[in-house]
């Protein structure tokens, strides 16, 4: 299994999006989650902010609405 994030909830969201046809690319510091034909967002590997999960969900919603 590929490691997406140290936060289990963020990693679970990434796996859900991958099942829907999204792509994940490893980077030097952060991974990148790419929506087909819409763009990409960074995936926090080691989130230290208590709002990291809420911020990631918000970025997902914004990208899906494009």
Contact (CB, 8 A) for 22 and 13: no
- Domain definitions of the chain by residue range: 8-64
Please compute the mean of the pLDDT values over residues 26-50 and round it to a whole number.
Answer: 91
Q: What is the pLDDT of residues 39-66, one digit of tens each?
A: 999 999 999 899 999 999 999 999 988 8
CATH code for the domain defined by 8-64:
3.30.920
> Which H helix or E strand runs over 24?
strand 23-25
Q: Is the pLDDT reported for residue 1 higher than 80?
A: no
pTM for the whole thing? 0.89
Residue from 48, 17, 47, 46 nearest 33 by CA:
17
Q: Which residue has the higher pLDDT, 59 or 27?
A: 59
């Amino acid at each position: 299994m590929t490691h997406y994030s140290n936060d289990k909830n963020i990693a679970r969201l990434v796996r859900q999006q991958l099942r829907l046809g999204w792509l994940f690319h490893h980077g030097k510091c952060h991974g990148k989650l790419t929506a087909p034909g819409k763009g990409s967002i960074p995936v926090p590997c080691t989130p230290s902010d208590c709002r990291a999960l809420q911020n990631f969900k918000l970025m997902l919603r914004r990208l899906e609405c494009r």
